[in-house]
Every structure is written in structure tokens, then in C-alpha cells.
Amino acid sequence: MIQYSDDIKEEVRSANDIVDVISQYVTLKRSGRNYFGLCPFHSEKSPSFSVSPDRQYFHCFGCHKGGDVFTFVSEIERISFKEALEMLAEKARIELPTIENSEYSKNTALKSQMYKINIETATFFHERLYKPFAKIAQEYVKKRKLDNRTLKAFKIGYSGEYNELYKHLKTLGFKDEEIIATGLVYKNDRGDYIDRFRKRLMFPIMNTSGKVIAFGGRKLEDNEKIAKYINSNENLVYSKKKNLFALNLAKQSQKENIVLVEGYMDAISLYQRGFDNVVASLGTALTDDQARLLRKYSKQIILSYDSDGAGQDAILRGLTILEKQGCDARVLQMENAKDPDEYVIKYGSGRFQILIDNAISLVEFKIKMAKNKYNLDNANDKINFLKEITQILSSVDNNIEREIYIDKVSKQYGISKEAVYAEVNKGKTYFSSNPEVKPIQKSIKKTKIDSAICKRENLIIYLLINNYQESFKPISQNIKVDDFKSDENKLIYKTIIDSNVNSNEEILQIISNIESQEIQSHVSEILVSDYGIKSVKKGIEDIVNIYEKEHLNERKTEIIKELEKKHTNEELESLGQELNEIIVKLTKIK
């Protein structure tokens, strides 16, 4: 009997998007960040079943079932967790280890050798960059104004001339077939082993866990005949459609969005100038897999494509793919520079940040594109423009969002709101958009804990899962495990405090592994609920204050009780002093 490892579970989990899987059983409709539908586990007329694409969890507010994709499949198919995992692995064509299946372990062994070769290669190239013979590469990085910290962060390097890498790898003891498998070396017609990347500036490509999986190489010589950029071919450990350059760094960023650029150099140059939240697509148009990957790390994705390169269609396509995956997709409007690298060097980080802050949504982008076709001083053109934006606006499901756009359009293009409404009223499409689906929150009392306290505790867990970096320290310093009244929250909190994690994803992974249906449905409820947090910092502060106040009040009561007993003068004085301090502290807490 095979016990599947946590790695396998994680691989299968991330290969099966919960929205895709559940959609095969339930009709889901998006509203805001989440999806809603009629619960398949209990009979109902209005939807209380909710799915969070961000957190990959589902929850029913009616019958309180909830959990991750494995829980869903095992519940709906009435199969065990293990069977659910096997079913989902098959769907995603992931080969699970079996006793007979030696191919699996063979591949695993080869993969692990390939990772080793890749990291050795990255180090080899990187060290060469600093050698005297790498003058051409050194001059190039100097010209591109890359500093040493950046060269180190990205492990930028310089490749050899003929088969230096091959020889180096052989001295390290790697086998020919392992080296060939990475694509770093090929065998020519005469049977010689030749390096694929020669005399190029090398950019290692890493996956989200920071393992080197491939390389990109830029030519340095002034030679028209060779390609400007070449990349590793796809292989056992590398798929260009499923990875993004620099995501390993961007996923650690504290910034609230991720900026997607086209070239390695754009990502690197922006990183050096303080934007650690930039990733580059690997020479392909954005794919669904990449969009899904991005959404895992950030809700808001900002496209920053070259002004001349990609063109409107690529932007439109990119935004659409991102929105489909539930991202808040925006596009950055850049003028007077051909790419982000040029822009940030020319105008500085401050100006680039303003561009990020002013990035526009898909709807705004479509309206802008429509606007470019017409001359709004011409009455006929204005009517046609109005018609076109009505079409665009009718695709916006959310009423409030649509109102905001109408407001913006009327201000920006000097068209009266009434005119927009009148046009919109003519087009029936506007009204046929579905009414907003709201989950019905039924209150089923599980334990007799005050609902306000429960909500507050849920919020703590929510903050820890979603904003770990900001919240862990202040919360863990001020809130004790025993402060929790709900058993579920207490256990979850203890699990988080006891574990040694350092990212949102890891927390969620650890919680996902708590084997209790009650905990899982409780977590899912927390994750799909909306707490209306406007500022994370303020939210954390408020919650910490509540507990601090409670602790102080508890101690105050204790002291007052204590004072009634007999004491020496010294004791009385020290208690009195403590009481005073508490009272001062209490008045300071808002």
C-alpha cells in the first residue's frame, strides 16, 4: 500500500483548479472574487455554495460542508480521500508512484539529477562572468546599468565558447544522458558534445520554489546570423507555458500586485530599481497555466507590455485570460519609451510607480480602444462610440462596478450620464445581465460562542492566512492560544503558531493537511467570507487592540480583587502602581 507524499498531494492539488473541477458538477457564477452556485450536498433554491479561486477552497453556508478539491471530489463521488487523489491525478495526467511502476522512480531520479546539473551550470556561468575573459559580458551589463546585487539575485552569467560547460559537468561526474536531458548540451553529427549556449549572457530560469529549470541566453557578439535570444528547450523539468521568469522572487514581494513584462531585462531592470514584484513571460503569449500561477500569488496583475511589440490584441488577450482566472487584471499605459526598462531608466522609479497606480482595467482598456476609432467632435462618431461602450458595459455583471464605469466614461469623454443611460436603455443586453448572486448566510449555532467573538477569531485566522508577513508578528505577540474561545479556531491558531512557515501558501498547506472534516469546513468558511477589510494594517491593529484591552481589563479585575486582601505597604504600593499603569494604557488604546 502506497502512502502518497505531501509533495505528490501538492502537485495533484495545484494541477486541478477547484473552479474547473467543481464546475463539472455545479453551475457556478462569478460574483466579485468568488463563485457561487446551488449546493450539491443539500437541497436549496438560492445559492449558498461558494468557491474561492484564490484560496482553492469551497464552502456551503447552508450545510457547512467545505474544504479543498480533494474533499469536494471525495464527498461528491462518495469515495475515499486516496481515491479522490488518484482520480484527480489521472485527470491531470500526473503519474502516481506504484509498486510496479518503476518508470516513475526512474523519472524522479533523472529529474533530481537534472536539477543538480542546472544549479551547477548556473553557478558555473555566474562565476565566469567575473573572469577577465568575460569582458564582452561585463561591458554589456555595465551598459545596461546592472549592479552587482542584481547580478547575484538573478545569478546572471556568461556561457563558454565551445564545450566548456560539458567538460565541467563531466568533471562533476554527471552522465551523458543526464546532461543531454537538460538540453544544455547536444551531440553533433560527428558525435561531439557541444554546449547549446555559447558566448551569451545567461539568465537562469527558476520555478516558484527557486529551483533552476532552464536558461535564457542573450547574444553579445555583433553577429547578424545568430538569434538575439535563445532559451532552453522544454524538457522533463521545464515547460515554458507553465513558468514565469522571476516569479520565485516576485512571490516573496510585499507589494499588493504583480507586474507582468515581456523581457528578462525589463524584469531585472525593474527589480534593481525597487520593483521586486515583476515577472516576465518566457517568450510566449500568456497562457491559462501562467495566469493561474499568477493568481495564486496575487489578486492584482498588471500587464506592462512593450509599447511597440505586443500590440493591442496581445494586451486584450492577456487581460481576458487573467480575468478568466479571477484576477483583477490591469494594463499599464506607458508613453515615450519602448519598454519598461527604458522607461524606468529615463524617468525613474517614482514615475513608474505612478504608471502602476494608474493602470486601467480590461473594460477601461476596451473603451479606450473604441475611443481611438472615433472623433468625438463629430456627432455621428459620438453616437457610434456611445453604442460601442454600451456593448462593453453590458458585459460588466456587477451593478456597482458598472455604475462606476458609467461615471468615469461620462467624465472622461464629456458625455452626459443621461446619454449613456438612454443608450444603455435601448440595448436590452444591459438589463438581461443576471442579478447579483449573494450567498445566504444561515446561522447554525454549533457552539454557544458569542457570534461577535467567533467572527473576530475567524478574522484573525483570515489575516494570518492571507497576510502572513504583516500579521504574524503583531498577532502572535499579543494573542495567546488560550484567548481563543472556539475549539476549531484554537486548533488552527495553535497549528499556525507551532509551525515554522514563512508564507501564505505554506500556512494554507499546513492547514489543508489537518485531517478533520470539521476543521476543513470551518477553514473554508473563513476563506470564502468577506470581512470588508479596507486596510490590512488597520485591521491587524484593531484586533490586537481588542485583545490587549481584554488582557489589561482582566489584570485590572485581578488587582482590584487582590487589593481587598491584606497586604504590606510595599505590596499595596506596587499593586497600586501597576493599576495606575494599566489605567493609563487602557486610555491610550483606541
Shortest Å distance, C-beta 65 to Zn ion: 5
Q: How many Å apart are CA 193 and CA 33, to the nearest integer?
A: 52
- Cβ closest to Zn ion, residue 62 vs residue 157: 62
Considering the complex, state which of residue 69 and residue 278 has its C-beta at the smaller distance from Zn ion. 69
Smallest separation (angstroms) from Zn ion to the CB of 66: 9
Closest distance to Zn ion from the beta carbon of 43 (Å) = 9
Shortest Cβ distance from residue 46 to Zn ion (Å)?
A: 12
| Nearer Cβ to Zn ion (60/169) | 60
**Could you give the CA distance from residue 76 to residue 84 in angstroms, rounded to a whole number?**
10
- CB nearer to Zn ion: pick between 379 and 444: 444
Q: 427 with 390: CB under 8 angstroms?
A: yes
Q: Smallest gap, in angstroms, from Cβ of residue 527 to Zn ion?
A: 16
* Piece of 25-33, 41-49, 129-137, 522-530 that binds Zn ion (CB under 5 A): 41-49
Give min distance, CB of 423 to Zn ion, in A. Answer: 42
Q: Is 353 helix (H, G, I), strand (E, B) or coil?
A: helix
Contact letters (x/-) for Zn ion, 319-358, by CB under 5 A?
----------------------------------------
The amino acid at 529: S
Check residue 157 for interaction with Zn ion (CB under 5 A): no
Shortest Cβ distance from residue 49 to Zn ion (Å)?
Answer: 6
The helix (run of H) or strand (run of E) holding residue 29 is strand 29-31
Distance of CA 37 to the CA centre of its chain: 24
The residue range among 31-39, 73-81, 484-492, 507-515 that interacts with Zn ion, by the rule CB under 5 A, is 31-39
Q: Least separation, in Å, of the C-beta of 40 and Zn ion?
A: 8
Q: Count the alpha carbons within 13 Å of 285 in the hemisphere toward its beta carbon.
A: 12
Residue 520 beta carbon to Zn ion: minimum distance, rounded to whole angstroms: 14
CB-count exposure of residue 405 (10 Å: 0-12, 13-18, 19+): buried
Out of 37, 47, 53, 62, the only residue in the binding site for Zn ion (CB under 5 A) is 62
C-alpha cell at 390: 454600451
Judged by CB under 5 A, which stretch of 53-61, 301-309, 384-392, 488-496 contacts Zn ion? 53-61
Element (H, E) at 36: strand 34-37
Interface residue with Zn ion, options 5, 27, 42, 446 (CB under 5 A): 42
- Binding residue count for Zn ion, defined by CB under 5 A: 6
> Of 37 and 539, which has the nearer Cβ to Zn ion?
37
The whole-angstrom separation of Cα 376 and Cα 386 is: 10
Piece in contact with Zn ion (CB under 5 A), picked from 1-9, 40-48, 209-217, 227-235: 40-48
Task: Give the residue from 253, 251, 245, 235 showing the smallest Cα distance to 283.
Answer: 245
Q: At what angle do helices 311-324 and 288-297 cross, to 10 degrees?
A: 60
Cβ nearer to Zn ion, comparing 444 with 584: 444
Q: In angstroms, give the least distance from the CB of 19 to Zn ion.
A: 17
CB of 47 to Zn ion, least distance (A): 10
Q: Does 4 bind Zn ion (CB under 5 A)?
A: no
- For residue 2, give the DSSP letter: P
What does DSSP say about strands 185-187 and 57-60: parallel, antiparallel, or unpaired?
unpaired
Sheet with 278-280: list strands edge to edge: 278-280, 257-261, 300-304, 328-331, 360-361
In sequence order, the 6+-apart residues with CB closer than 8 A to the CB of 414 are 376
Task: Provide the minimum distance between the beta carbon of 457 and Zn ion in the complex, in angstroms, as a whole number.
Answer: 23
Of 54-62, 260-268, 329-337, 480-488: span binding Zn ion (CB under 5 A): 54-62
**φ, ψ for residue 235 (rounded to 5)?**
-150, -170
Question: Least Å distance between CB 24 and Zn ion?
Answer: 18
Among positions 8, 15, 38, 63, the unique one binding Zn ion when judged by CB under 5 A: 63
Cβ nearer to Zn ion, comparing 63 with 514: 63
Nearer to Zn ion by Cβ, of 39 and 205: the residue is 39
38 with 52: CB under 8 angstroms? no
CB neighbour class for 479 (10 Å; exposed up to 12, middle 13-18, buried from 19): buried
| 22, 26, 28, 60: which one binds Zn ion (CB under 5 A) | 60
Segment contacting Zn ion by CB under 5 A, of 52-60, 73-81, 128-136, 466-474: 52-60
Task: Give the binding range for Zn ion (CB under 5 A) out of 35-43, 244-252, 520-528, 579-587.
Answer: 35-43
Q: Is 208:248 a contact under the CB 8 Å cutoff? A: yes
Beta bridge partners of 328: 300
Contact 280, 262 (CB under 8 A): yes
Q: Is 41 in the site for Zn ion (CB under 5 A)?
A: yes
- What is residue 304's three-state secondary structure? strand
Choose which of 12, 26, 28, 39 interacts with Zn ion (CB under 5 A).
39
Q: Which residues share a beta bridge with 57?
A: 52
Residue 448: CB minimum distance to Zn ion, A: 23
Nearer to Zn ion, 26 or 87 (CB): 26
Nearest-angstrom CA–CA distance, 21 and 58: 11
What's the sign of the alpha-carbon dihedral 423, 416, 320, 256?
Answer: negative
Which range of residues in 15-23, 63-71, 93-101, 195-203 is near Zn ion by CB under 5 A? 63-71
As a three-state string, the secondary structure of 76-89 is: HCCCCHHHHHHHHH
Closer residue to Zn ion, CB minimum distance, 4 or 41 = 41
Angle 171-174-175 from CA coordinates, rounded to 5°:
120
Nearest to 61 by CA among 76, 42, 48: 48
Residues that bind Zn ion (CB under 5 A): 39, 41-42, 60, 62-63
